[in-house]
């Protein structure tokens, strides 16, 4: 299991979520990912996407003008 960071600064909705989804697809179950954004909406959007897709949000925080969301990759979903 490994930790990764995704720089989604200066991207507006829905791009932070799309970039997160693309990165998660390249990771393994149990890996962690910290997404760094400047779009304050990502503080709600990424955790909502995680709930829908079975990933755990480990931490959300704001640091100045940046939002950081750390998530743990859940089980891969089975496409129907």
In whole angstroms, what is the distance from residue 10 CA to residue 78 CA?
32
- Dist CA 17 CA 31 (whole Å): 17
Angle in degrees, 0-180, between the axes of helices 15-25 and 42-53, rounded to the nearest 10: 40
Q: How many residues does the chain have?
A: 80
Catalytic residue among 13, 36, 43, 57: 13
Asked whether the bond before 14 is cis by omega within 30 degrees of 0, the reply is yes
Is 37 designated active site? no
Residues carrying an active site annotation? 13
């Amino acid at each position: 299991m490994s930790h990764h960071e995704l720089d989604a600064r200066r991207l507006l909705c829905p791009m932070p979520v799309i970039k997160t989804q693309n990165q998660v697809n390249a990771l393994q179950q149990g890996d962690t990912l910290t997404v760094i954004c400047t779009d304050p909406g990502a503080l709600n959007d990424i955790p909502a996407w995680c709930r829908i897709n079975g990933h755990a949000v480990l931490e959300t925080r704001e640091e100045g003008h940046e939002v950081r969301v750390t998530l743990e990759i859940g089980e891969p979903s089975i496409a129907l």
